Amino acid sequence: MGVNASVISGAGRITSSNGTSFSSPIFCSALVCLYQKFPSLPPSNFIQAIQSSASNSSNPNASIGYGIPDFEKAFNYLSNRPK
């Protein structure tokens, strides 16, 4: 995420750019989709689902944290949680 994102330049032209700030809106949008599906869940459930779905979940570190989240896995995690 955040690689070759289409953006509007200061001159008003469409160009591409890279950066982690471009991944934040994507992440937040996906999180809101999960919340819309499961509005009664507490925030801790979403944190656990996203962390456990991420590419580096078995070995989080200071460099890349939990890694890239997989929101399909997070959705499945929340769908299959004990009631």
Q: What is the pLDDT of residues 23-36, one digit of tens each?
A: 888 899 999 999 99
What number of residues does the chain have?
A: 83
User: 59 pLDDT band (50/70/90 cuts)?
Assistant: very high
Asked if pLDDT for residue 22 goes beyond 80, the answer is no
How much is the pLDDT for 74? 98
**Residue with token string 């962390």:** 51
Give the bridge partners for 17, in sequence order.
Answer: 5
User: 67 pLDDT band (50/70/90 cuts)?
Assistant: very high
